[in-house]
Amino acid sequence: MKYSRFGISGLLLLFASFSLFTSCDEVRRILVAKIGDSSKYSAEGKESGFKPVFTQKDEHRKKIGISLTTVGEGFDQPTDLLAISNPEIFIVLEKTGSIKWLDPKDGSSGLIAKIPNVLTDSEEGLLGIALHPAFPEKPKVYLNYVIKKNGKDTSRVSEWTMDFPKDPKKSKLKEERTILEVEQPYGNHNAGQLAFGRDGKLYIGWGDGGWMADPKGNGQNPKTFLGSMLRIDVDSKDPGKEYSVPKDNPFVGNENYRPETFAYGLRNPWRYSFDPSDRLVLADVGQDLYEEVDIIEAGKNYGWNKTEASHCFEPKENCDRNGLTDPIYEYGREDGSSITGGFVVTNDRIGDLHGLYVFGDFVSGRIWAIPLPKNGERVKEAYSLGKWPVLISTFGRDARGSLYLADFGSGKILRIDPEK
């Protein structure tokens, strides 16, 4: 999710006007908040009939027919979607700080908690949730949200206890423990995803800190948490920390890197997930020209802001690509402007989707599926699932492997079903 689609020329004109009266950083923060007002986002296309549209761009792509079925509605700017099994209930996060449950069988929903004082400018808000790998026996819930601390916008990852983990409809959250915080220079590129790997470690993806073109140079600065994928252990503590650094993290012992860093060179890793072989698959939101899908590996540098996807960004030609890892898939502005990562489909309800990674675009409403390569080679072909009149803010997956998505604009939760 990003604001560059609102017009760079207008942004620069406003910047020039504001900068006469206040500091450069403060001007940028003001403009990010004003231009990135998420309440003004609107989906492309018309909802009547709610059928996929295939455009000229799709003529040379294979198509997979799907339908989208509403299983819940009435949510306010949903940002994340997480299933709890036995019984199967979804947890839905709202940007403004509410955590709600949704029963997909009948569409009923209710409030679990309201996180106070959540900032909501631009891409800030309540952004990510994960359950402890031993949930519900260990009833811990992890949240990623943005608050004001000491006058600074700050991303916080914290641990909460769910009091009735086997009955989310009755549950509340209590006993917050702050795990990790990072100051955010601007109100965009906060990312916000949280996910546990099969290794039991928590993976935290944070963007470059915002504005545009990474003015702070965070993407290529492994001494900051920003622009990086972090990996920590929430079940133990190092001295002075509320977590421990896994001994097998790739940069442990290297004074030029934060030991929490698993990989870096990211711009805005809005959504990521683990595939059936436990590979971390990430969708990184681009800036001017390209969106990308990466397979994140320990110790790798994914290029931002030297590169945007596999193309030179700064400088535009003959950039230093030494040590950089290219994405497995990318697409340009003719397809969309803000990628939303999804999941690998692990059931055969839609036979042609089985084993494919499904993702979408927040702005254009397009949905695609790609096979994930075994050795990190480039994916040459994507299957088109159509263009839909939705703002795809996140995907979810239930215990049976079926996929869902949240429409940020309408507040609906939709299941991906076979074509009707």
% of the chain exceeding 90 in pLDDT: 85
Domain containing 123: what range?
4-38+52-418
- Asked if residue 334 is part of any domain, the answer here is yes
- Per the CB < 8 A criterion, the answer to whether 196 and 130 are in contact is yes
- Asked if residue 241 is part of any domain, the answer here is yes
**What does the pLDDT read at residue 47?**
65
- Asked if residue 44 is part of any domain, the answer here is no
- Asked if residue 43 is part of any domain, the answer here is no
Residues 34, 39, 42, 46, Cα dihedral to 10°: -160
Strands (E), 163-277: 173-183, 194-196, 202-206, 228-232, 261-264, 271-274
Going by C-beta distance under 8 Å and a sequence separation of 6 or more, which residues neighbour residue 414? 68, 69, 70, 71, 390, 404, 405, 406, 407
Under DSSP, is residue 198 helix (H, G, I), strand (E, B) or coil? Answer: coil
- Asked if residue 47 is part of any domain, the answer here is no
Going by C-beta distance under 8 Å and a sequence separation of 6 or more, which residues neighbour residue 103? 72, 89, 90, 109, 169
Rounded Cα distance between 66 and 356, Å, is 14
**What does the pLDDT read at residue 4?**
41
Q: Which two tokens stand for residue 200?
A: 């039991």
Q: Write the pLDDT tens digit of every residue in 289-312.
A: 999 999 999 999 999 999 999 999
CA distances from residue 38 to 7, 76, 325, 364 in whole angstroms, order as listed: 15, 11, 32, 15
- Asked if residue 60 is part of any domain, the answer here is yes
Amino acid in the structure at residue 256: N
Under DSSP, is residue 38 helix (H, G, I), strand (E, B) or coil? Answer: helix
Instruction: Indicate left, alpha or beta for 51 from its phi (over 0: left) and psi (-120 to 50: alpha).
Output: beta
**What does the pLDDT read at residue 403?**
98
Read off the pTM. 0.94
Q: Which two tokens stand for residue 343?
A: 């999941």
- Asked if residue 101 is part of any domain, the answer here is yes
Length of the chain measured in residues? 420
| Neighbour-count burial for 287-324, b at 16+ CB within 10 Å, e otherwise | beebbbbbbbeeebbbbbbbbbbbbebeeeeebeeeeb
Please count the structural domains in the chain. Answer: 1
Rounded Cα distance between 41 and 340, Å, is 15
**CATH code at 407?**
2.120.10.30
Q: Which residues of the chain have pLDDT under 50?
A: 2-7
**What does the pLDDT read at residue 3?**
41
- Asked if residue 375 is part of any domain, the answer here is yes
